[in-house]
Amino acid sequence: MPEEVIENKDGLKVRKLAELKTTTAKELEDAMLKRVKYFKEQNEKKSGFNSSLQNTFFKAFSSVLDLKINVDKALGEENLKQVHKVIDNILLFGL
């Protein structure tokens, strides 16, 4: 057991604090990516066109997300609320 585990008066091994720090963070991300790769391959088997379209979309999405986070910071909280309201209205328009 890691050293942060102590034994209480009843002899129970008790963690002083669950740190949430995982030594398997890398493995976890690898497992997730492996899984994604597997399903990407499966999707490609079904339809290569749809799959590449989707992958391009998600790549673009990631870039937009990065940009959006920077813009959020520049806008400030109050302005951001107004922007959200406008975008909400646009996206819900005509539904």
Partner 1 sequence: MYHLDGTDILDELYYRKTFSVCPECLKRIPAIIEEDDGKIFMRKTCKEHGDFEDILSSSAKYYKWTHYQKKDKNGNVVWQFEKDGEANPPDCAADDRGCPYNCGLCNEHLSTCSLALIDLTNRCNFSCNFCYANIEQAGYWIEPSLEDIDRIMKHFRSKPIPPPAIMFTGGEPTVRKDFPEICKMAKDNGFQEVIVATNGYGFQRKNGGAEWTKRCRDMGLDTLYFQFDGINDATYEKTRGIKGLMKYKMRVIDNCRKAGFDSIVLVATIASGVTDIEIGNIIQFAINNVDIVRGITFQPVSLCGRISAEEMQELRITNADVIKEIEKQTGGKLSMENAWYPLSTITEFGRLIAYLADVEPAEFTCHPDCGFATYLAVDPDSGEMVPIMEYFDPLEVIDFANRFWEKIKHKEKKSIQFFENMLGDFGKTLDEGLNFLDKTQLRARFLLGVLQYMRKPGKLMEMFSRLLMNGDWESVSSFSYGTLLISSMHFQDAYNMDIERTKRCIVHFGVAMPDGTVKELPFCTMNTLHRSDIEKQVAKKITQKVRDEFDTTVGQARQDIELEIMPNGGTKEEEDDTDA
Cβ–Cβ < 8 Å for 83, 75 = yes
| Selected binder of partner 1 within 8, 46, 74, 78 (CB under 8 A) | 8
CB of 10 to partner 1, least distance (A): 7
**What is the C-alpha to C-alpha distance for residues 84 and 95, in angstroms, rounded to an integer?**
18
Q: Position 31: which residue type? A: A
**What is the C-alpha to C-alpha distance for residues 7 and 20, in angstroms, rounded to an integer?**
20
Torsions phi, psi for 93 (to 5 deg): -65, 135
| Selected binder of partner 1 within 47, 52, 62, 79 (CB under 8 A) | 62
Contact between 69 and partner 1 (CB under 8 A)? Answer: yes
Q: Residue 95 in 3-state DSSP?
A: coil
Contact between 76 and partner 1 (CB under 8 A)? Answer: no
Contact footprint for partner 1 (CB under 8 A): 5, 8, 10-15, 17-25, 27-29, 31-33, 35-36, 39, 42, 54, 57-58, 61-62, 64-66, 68-69, 72, 83-84, 87-88, 91-92, 95
